[in-house]
Amino acid sequence: MTKEKADQSPSEKILSTRRHFLTKSGLGAGAVVAGSTLAAPYVNAQSGPIKWRLQTYSGAPLGAHVIKPQIEAFNKAANGEMEIELYYADQLVPTADLFRALQSGTIDAVQSDEATMASPVDIAVFGGYFPFATRYSLDVPALFKYYGLKEIWEEAYAEVDNVTWLSTGAWDPLHIFTVDKPIRSLADMNGLRVFGVPTAGRFLSRYGLVPVTIPWDNVEVALQTGELDGVAWCGFTEAYEVGWADVCKYALTNSVTGAWFGSYFANTASWEKVPPQLQELFRITIDQSHYYRDIWYWGGEAKLRVEGEKMELTALPPEEWDQVVKDSEGFWDEVASSSPRSGKVVEAFKKYSTIMQKAGYPYR
């Protein structure tokens, strides 16, 4: 063992191991789903490959896991027919302008949740973290495949000009990390300025939390200068990977949501110019990315929560946490009444939750 490895802290050892997950698992650049048939070398009859620009909601440190492997794999497997240029948070347009830029064709594709990118559909509130809608990462694909969310999303975006929704997958659970103000009761949330996604912020604001929107790359400095008191944006894996755990001293273990809803979108005109075989390849690499991300987050959440040394864990008193769970029922009903389609989504959540509770272990 080298001296460098011997001197690593517990969290550094965990992160180092996890950064090699791409290579060891075969899910890195150029990986193709087993069983796929590769055609003979392609002779490009056009003047050059199809060029796309894709911007993600995430900054570069996080993007190295949530999007970069997929884009590298697609570009390699596309065999010169198509090339996607990847841009991270705010590099081409501000994150809040992602939807308009996508619709106008300024960019060809986006990876984000609806709420963060200000998608003008009635179901945008469910993108990102919707309180207590999920408990585990597998809840997201199950809801889309078996409980009607896929059809609801397709219907919603069919009403929007020049934007095509492609797929939704799971990211990490939501925790609150704070710099120097521990949360040990609901009263401790009052006045805390946190960077976070809109829907969760809207719910948590009833306890005095103040959601703040700033560019992703500015978050760490804002935590250091006191502009922000914390983040309500991610789980332990992300907080450690992007460096926020180096600034925050406390982590609230109560999780308002077990998995984030993140989606892929394409400019419809750009999408229709892509040949069917490349559309299918893009969808395959999206599914590959969903799979990799589920494992990367899931393993990191457990290991860093238990063995990570950078943050002190806190928790709300059980009776206060029960109140938060109870409050979410009213929030669900409020959102359900906002539109018939939103009502269908909430109904799917309720049905899914009931079935999971009745099924018991290992589902709940």
* Predicted pLDDT at 197: 83
Distance CA 200, CA 44 (A): 47
Q: Give the number of other CB atoms < 10 A from CB of residue 117.
A: 24
Q: How many domains does the chain have?
A: 2
Q: What are phi and psi of 84, to 5 degrees?
A: -105, 125
CB 200 within 8 A of CB 266: no
HSE value, Cβ hemisphere, 13 Å, CA-based, for 245: 23
Clarify whether residues 56 and 194 are in a common domain.
no
Q: What is the pTM of this model?
A: 0.87
Clarify whether residues 76 and 192 are in a common domain.
no
What is each CA distance from 213 to 24, 77, 95, 193, 231, in whole angstroms?
37, 37, 10, 10, 11
For residue 139, tell me if it sits in a domain. Answer: yes
Clarify whether residues 105 and 223 are in a common domain.
no
Over the stretch 87-99, which tens digit does the pLDDT of each residue have?
A: 999 999 999 999 9
* Predicted pLDDT at 244: 97
Clarify whether residues 239 and 337 are in a common domain.
yes
Q: Which two structure tokens, joined as six digits, stand for 17?
A: 């191991």
For residue 364, tell me if it sits in a domain. Answer: no
Distance CA 208, CA 198 (A): 15
Distance CA 24, CA 14 (A): 15
Clarify whether residues 215 and 327 are in a common domain.
yes
Distance CA 80, CA 78 (A): 6
- Name the amino acid, one letter, at 206: R
Clarify whether residues 157 and 184 are in a common domain.
no
36 pLDDT above the threshold of 90: no
* Predicted pLDDT at 6: 59
String of DSSP letters for 244-280: GGGT--EEE---S-S--EEEEEEEHHHHHTS-HHHHH
DSSP state of 209: -
8 pLDDT above the threshold of 90: no
For residue 114, tell me if it sits in a domain. Answer: yes
42 pLDDT above the threshold of 70: no
Over the stretch 208-244, which tens digit does the pLDDT of each residue have?
A: 999 999 999 999 999 999 999 999 999 999 999 999 9
Which region among 118-122, 267-271, 311-315, 360-364 has the lowest average model confidence (pLDDT)?
Answer: 360-364
Of 288, 303, 318, the residue that ends a domain is 303
What is each CA distance from 8 to 1, 64, 129, in whole angstroms?
11, 22, 33
List of residues 6+ apart from 20 with CB closer than 8 A: none
For residue 17, tell me if it sits in a domain. Answer: no
Q: How many residues does the chain have?
A: 364
Strand order in the sheet with 210-212: 210-212, 193-196, 230-234, 175-178, 250-252, 312-314
Residue % of the chain over a pLDDT of 70: 88
* Three-state secondary-structure class, residue 120: coil
What is each CA distance from 326 to 128, 185, 218, 336, in whole angstroms?
21, 16, 35, 16
For residue 292, tell me if it sits in a domain. Answer: yes
Clarify whether residues 208 and 325 are in a common domain.
yes
Clarify whether residues 191 and 218 are in a common domain.
yes
Average pLDDT of every residue of the chain: 90
Is residue 326 classed exposed, middle or buried when 0-12, 13-18 and 19+ CB atoms within 10 A define those classes? exposed
Q: Across residues 16-30, what is the average pLDDT?
A: 53
DSSP state of 128: B
- Strands (E) in the chain, as ranges, are 50-56, 82-87, 109-112, 163-170, 175-178, 193-196, 210-212, 230-234, 250-252, 261-267, 312-314
* Predicted pLDDT at 19: 58
312 pLDDT above the threshold of 90: yes
Q: Across residues 3-8, what is the average pLDDT?
A: 62
How does strand 163-170 pair with strand 261-267? antiparallel
Clarify whether residues 167 and 29 are in a common domain.
yes
- Residue entry with tokens 């011997």: 6
Distance CA 235, CA 66 (A): 14
* Predicted pLDDT at 328: 96
Clarify whether residues 120 and 251 are in a common domain.
no
For residue 164, tell me if it sits in a domain. Answer: yes
Clarify whether residues 101 and 189 are in a common domain.
no
Over the stretch 63-83, which tens digit does the pLDDT of each residue have?
A: 999 999 999 999 999 999 999
165 pLDDT above the threshold of 90: yes
Tell me the pLDDT band of 7, cut-offs 50, 70 and 90: confident
DSSP3 helix / strand / coil % (the chain, rounded to 5): 50, 15, 35
Tell me the pLDDT band of 246, cut-offs 50, 70 and 90: very high
Q: Across residues 189-193, what is the average pLDDT?
A: 97
Which region among 41-45, 72-76, 298-302 has the lowest average model confidence (pLDDT)?
Answer: 41-45
* Predicted pLDDT at 121: 97
For residue 291, tell me if it sits in a domain. Answer: yes
* Predicted pLDDT at 3: 56
For residue 1, tell me if it sits in a domain. Answer: no
Clarify whether residues 275 and 334 are in a common domain.
no
Q: Domain range for residue 321?
A: 175-257+309-359
Tell me the pLDDT band of 363, cut-offs 50, 70 and 90: confident
* Predicted pLDDT at 14: 64
Residue % of the chain over a pLDDT of 90: 84
Which region among 10-19, 49-58, 175-184, 223-232 has the lowest average model confidence (pLDDT)?
Answer: 10-19
| Position with higher pLDDT, 156 vs 29 | 156
- Give the CATH number of the domain where residue 132 resides: 3.40.190.170
Q: Which two structure tokens, joined as six digits, stand for 221?
A: 């400095």
* Three-state secondary-structure class, residue 14: helix
